[in-house]
Amino acid sequence: MPHMTDERVRAGITHEEDLSLLNEVSMKTAGVSRLEMCIQCGTCGGSCPAAIDMDHTPRMLFAMLRAGMRQEVLRSNTPWICVSCYHCVVRCPQQVHIADVMYTLKGMASKAKLYRSSTAPDFSKTFVDMVKRFGRGYELGLVALHYLKHFPLRLPGMMPMGLGMVTKGRMPFVPHKIKHMDQLRKIMKRAKELELNS
C-alpha cells in the first residue's frame, strides 16, 4: 500500500495504483503531456496563483489520477479554477504539461457531465461558441450572457465598469469577425474529426 501522507488521506487515496486513468488522460492530452513523469514535488501547487481556491492541488489531482479515482478527479474544481498562466509548467522540474492536462480534464468532465456546478463549463462553452461565431472572443457578449444565466442580480452592479471600458475603447461594443472565417471553420472541423477518431 502507498505511503499514507496527510495529503493522500485528505484526497481519499487509500487504494493501490491503477494507471489506466493516468494513461487515458495522457493519451487524450494534445502533444506529449509527460504526466507519467510527475514526481509529486508540489512545485505546481506552490507556483499556482489560484491554488487557494482549488479543492485539490495539481499534485494531489495527479496522485488521484495515478490511483484511478475517475469520479473524484472529474468532479474536482481544480481544472476549472486553472487560469492557464503556465507558471506551473515553466517551474515543473519534470516538464509536465500541467495546463494542457487541465484542458483535457475539463473536456472529460464536460463530456461525462461530472462537475459540481455548471457555471465554469457554461462559461467555457459560451467562450468557444463566440470563437466559432466570430473567430475571437467577444468580452461584452460573453460577460452579459454568462451573468444573465448564472448571476443576474450582479449584472446591474457591473454595468458602470462595462460602460467605462466600452467608452474608453478598452472593449468593443459590437463583435468583430476575423478575416478568413472559412479557414478557421475548416481547422475546427478537422480538429473535431481528429477528436472523434482519437
Per-residue pLDDT band for 108 (boundaries 50, 70, 90) equals very high
In this prediction, residue 198 carries a pLDDT of 63
Segment 10-21 shows an average pLDDT of 67
Per-residue pLDDT band for 81 (boundaries 50, 70, 90) equals very high
The answer to whether residue 1 scores a pLDDT higher than 50 is no
Per-residue pLDDT band for 4 (boundaries 50, 70, 90) equals very low
Segment 49-68 shows an average pLDDT of 94
**What is the rounded radius of gyration, in angstroms, for the C-alpha atoms of the chain?**
19
The answer to whether residue 24 scores a pLDDT higher than 80 is yes
Mean pLDDT estimate for the chain:
89
Cell 463549463 appears where? 121
Could you read off the pLDDT of 86-105 as tens digits, one per residue?
Answer: 999 999 999 999 999 999 99
Least confident of 124-138, 140-154, 183-197: 183-197
In this prediction, residue 26 carries a pLDDT of 94
Cell 487524450 appears where? 28
Domains in the chain, start-ordered, CATH in brackets?
6-112 (1.10.1060.10), 119-197 (no CATH)
In this prediction, residue 120 carries a pLDDT of 87
- Total residues found in the chain within this entry: 198
